[in-house]
Amino acid sequence: MIEFVLIIAFYAGPVAKSDAVSIASVPGFSTHAECLAAGKETSSFATLMKKVNYVCVKRTIQ
């Protein structure tokens, strides 16, 4: 079985005292396109954070 995992990196916003990064992963996407669409939704967090990056990776489950 193949699934795609969304990995998101949130970089602290301007109100943070120092540079901080938080990383989250969201497994369970059946297609790369679904994963990318969910990643694009994270852009709404950009107003609260300095930067938001995401990547979708393929994972094979045996």
pLDDT band at 31 (very low <50, low <70, confident <90, very high): very high
| DSSP β-bridge partners for residue 51 | 11
Report the alpha-carbon distance of residue 43 to residue 27 in Å, rounded.
Answer: 19
Type of residue numbered 39: G
Q: Which domain holds residue 51?
A: 2-60
The pLDDT of residue 33: 98
The pLDDT of residue 15: 66
The pLDDT of residue 17: 72
How many domains is the chain partitioned into structurally? 1
C-beta atoms surrounding 15 within 10 Å: 6
Looking at residue 36, the DSSP 8-state letter turns out to be H
